[in-house]
Structure 1
């Protein structure tokens, strides 16, 4: 995909002049409309509304060259984006010219353009803006992952003929486009590095091709968003909202659901927020279902490579030197991320145990992004699994019956089954539970051995006073443990720990993390 040329196929000047005048709106906005032109659209911000028309352009990948095509794609944009943002996409207005030549909204004359009316929102509520000012929170990212998962689950599955962007052939087309762009830009993409990257990607593509095609057969090819980076997610009425999904080319939007997710994860990674990328990753797979994970490194790398080439194309069109340099810097970071994400990785299984309040989940969250492959280990937390078993959100307390021994045994079985599935798919796993029974610890080690991956077990050693203080300070946590529960656990003890390493976790979280990293041989 290239955005370098911009040749208009039809004269839209009359429509643009009309939309630029405040008096043509009802009610008129307090200020003159702000005009934003992109490669594919003209947007006018007027009061609390945004008005968008397709730009009369024709590219191989996006053709708005005739009025009929602009009408059809405006309707498609409305219908598709109402799946995720019905409160944002309000409707379509006809821009008409009467017999006297006067232009109006929804007049009696012939239509000269079709205008998508949208609710306007504060640009500071875009997730990319929030990332720039450090305003993204774990809670927001987890809610966003929930939204993406729900959207993917609700979307209708497509057959191979209707999903040209899915399967091995669909991904191969994108990958080869990337390589062609890298070859055409040797000043920005070192030919030797690009060649090594291309060889590795082609190898992984051939290895995963059967699974890529099987996922189409299994219903994971859908009309997704297609462009799911942070700039296309905003906070509306306090909730993350996906908008501006691709309607103009099925190659870009009728894709594998995990390829759709990969752009979101890749964007967070490239912005240096691997912690949030890992949170989103774990949250998206809240209920397991890891069959497609062997494809994820290739999906992530391809998304990062796409971003690298787009940033170069955008930089070439910039007259402002600082902006141009920033885009080139982003391209370099994206290309390096693409290379890292496709490298071979050896998964590991980590068990974290300790009484309630010892800091197990804090250590797991801090450690997970550091394990390979990108975006890190899947964090399996017994407290969250228990809540999902009972159909409850993580923060909702459960009755005492939910903690019977038979229920706890089921929770551990599910945790171990998911751990094995993730390990076999090539991803590291962190098992976060009390793990005070020797048989539970032995079962974890057995799963790792069966999957032929290394195992490291950590027991967090903390005084009862510190654990009690931490429990008292919890809010909105998945754990229902009280101080009394913790003291009963401590009274029972943990038995012989065997190969599990004790970590002093009574101090700052950073100290416990450094100890765990040291035992794992991480830098």
Structure 2
């Protein structure tokens, strides 16, 4: 997307003079659902007007609601980062942040975290250390202990409810089989493994009875973690769909364990799980680990396929997405084989 095709308010926010605080330059980062503007010491995030079925930001009222949800939910882990709801106002054809005139958009304002502390950057630079895993565990254990639970949330931990998310992935990727990233053998083996585990309903019931189904983070991987000042800041949880956030704690931590495996840090992955299980007094988590790591790896592969299939993506990005997707599907296949 070129600057000229960006929404008018985003074009306005690319100008440093719009902000009331010092800004030398503004950097725009896009995801498939958000515009993120890095401006001085702060970050401004706006939701794109999209509707993917499982996510609906299609009108201003919905975007306003989910901005408020994002603030509330992420303040559970990062109250010092998630600052406030912001409005984009239009007055006499001029856009402003929290100014006068008609409110045409809502967003959130956050503290900008140091790039060198981003966990993904630390992994790539070879700077991740054991004490960083302890910081993450120290943050997660009390978070899950205090996270909401109860009958309404527990129902998302049943085999049937988990199966909705798992089977949906297979249905959404059938058309991509043997198209370059996902082989028919992988698809059959992974789906067969998932079906076998889902049929073992007592494993899921045991986790419910053990009080391990919580209002979790939902997107716990290195992209959403900053390690700085001896603390782990875990942000950008799933706010747009409860069924991706209400689940077994094992499903949450499995995502980060899988992410570490993906980067070849299997020793760190094992250490993270060992220390988490010990601190959380949850040894039974290991029984579900391969299943949920397989699920998480498959989802990441699916996202890579979807991104590569987007007609606006250039050839270089498409090839990279397919390579990454293939690696995730290989990982998911390995988990399925290990879990048999």
List aligned pairs for 1:188-227, cutoff 5 A: 188-207=181-200, 209-227=201-219
List aligned pairs for 1:62-461, cutoff 5 A: 62-98=55-91, 100-159=92-151, 161-162=152-153, 165-186=156-177, 187=179, 188-207=181-200, 209-287=201-279, 288-317=281-310, 318-321=313-316, 323-343=317-337
Any stretches of 5+ residues in structure 2 without a counterpart?
none
Count of residues in correspondence between the two structures: 332
TM-score with structure 2 setting the length: 0.90
List aligned pairs for 1:467-478, cutoff 5 A: none
Cα distance between partner residues in 1 of 2:333 and 2:55: 29
Bigger relative contact order (CA 8 A; separation at least 6): 2
Q: For residue 304 of structure 1, report the CA deviation from its aligned partner.
A: 1.2
* Contact 1:301–1:341, Cα closer than 8 Å, also in 2: yes
Cα distance between partner residues in 1 of 2:227 and 2:338: 36
2:19 counterpart (25, 29, 36): 25
Superimposed CA distance per residue, residues 226-264 of structure 1 (whole angstroms, 9 cap, x where no aligned partner)? 011111111243422101111001111111111011100
List aligned pairs for 1:31-70, cutoff 5 A: 31=25, 33-70=26-63
Partner of 1:14: 8
Any stretches of 5+ residues in structure 1 without a counterpart?
1-5, 346-372, 374-523
Q: For residue 79 of structure 1, report the CA deviation from its aligned partner.
A: 0.9
User: Structure 1 or 2: larger helix share?
Assistant: 2
* Contact 1:201–1:298, Cα closer than 8 Å, also in 2: yes
Q: For residue 293 of structure 1, report the CA deviation from its aligned partner.
A: 3.0
Cα distance between partner residues in 1 of 2:149 and 2:209: 9
Q: Secondary structure in 2 aligned to 1:124?
A: helix
Q: Secondary structure in 1 aligned to 2:127?
A: coil
Extract structure 1 runs of 4+ deviating beyond 4 A.
162-165
* Contact 2:153–2:247, Cα closer than 8 Å, also in 1: no
Distance 1:200 1:27, change over 3 A: closer
Q: 144-153 vs 261-270, which deviates more? A: 144-153
Distance 1:14 1:167, change over 3 A: same
Superimposed CA distance per residue, residues 178-220 of structure 1 (whole angstroms, 9 cap, x where no aligned partner)? 222332112122213311221122112212x223134335432
* Contact 2:290–2:338, Cα closer than 8 Å, also in 1: no
* Contact 2:24–2:40, Cα closer than 8 Å, also in 1: yes
* Contact 1:205–1:298, Cα closer than 8 Å, also in 2: no
* Contact 1:172–1:205, Cα closer than 8 Å, also in 2: yes
Distance 1:314 1:14, change over 3 A: closer
Cα distance between partner residues in 2 of 1:269 and 1:252: 22
Q: For residue 89 of structure 1, report the CA deviation from its aligned partner.
A: 0.9
* Contact 2:189–2:336, Cα closer than 8 Å, also in 1: no
* Contact 1:50–1:120, Cα closer than 8 Å, also in 2: yes
Q: Which has the larger radius of gyration?
A: 1
Superimposed CA distance per residue, residues 300-319 of structure 1 (whole angstroms, 9 cap, x where no aligned partner)? 11111111211222233441
Q: Secondary structure in 1 aligned to 2:214?
A: strand
* Contact 2:130–2:268, Cα closer than 8 Å, also in 1: yes
TM-score with structure 1 setting the length: 0.60
Cα distance between partner residues in 2 of 1:23 and 1:217: 56
Q: For residue 35 of structure 1, report the CA deviation from its aligned partner.
A: 1.5
Q: Secondary structure in 1 aligned to 2:87?
A: strand
Q: What is the RMSD of the two structures over their aligned residues, measured on CA atoms?
A: 2.3
Cα distance between partner residues in 2 of 1:62 and 1:194: 26
Partner of 1:476: none
Q: For residue 163 of structure 1, report the CA deviation from its aligned partner.
A: 5.9
* Contact 1:165–1:250, Cα closer than 8 Å, also in 2: no
Superimposed CA distance per residue, residues 343-400 of structure 1 (whole angstroms, 9 cap, x where no aligned partner)? 356xxxxxxxxxxxxxxxxxxxxxxxxxxx9xxxxxxxxxxxxxxxxxxxxxxxxxxx
Superimposed CA distance per residue, residues 437-493 of structure 1 (whole angstroms, 9 cap, x where no aligned partner)? xxxxxxxxxxxxxxxxxxxxxxxxxxxxxxxxxxxxxxxxxxxxxxxxxxxxxxxxx
Cα distance between partner residues in 2 of 1:203 and 1:256: 18
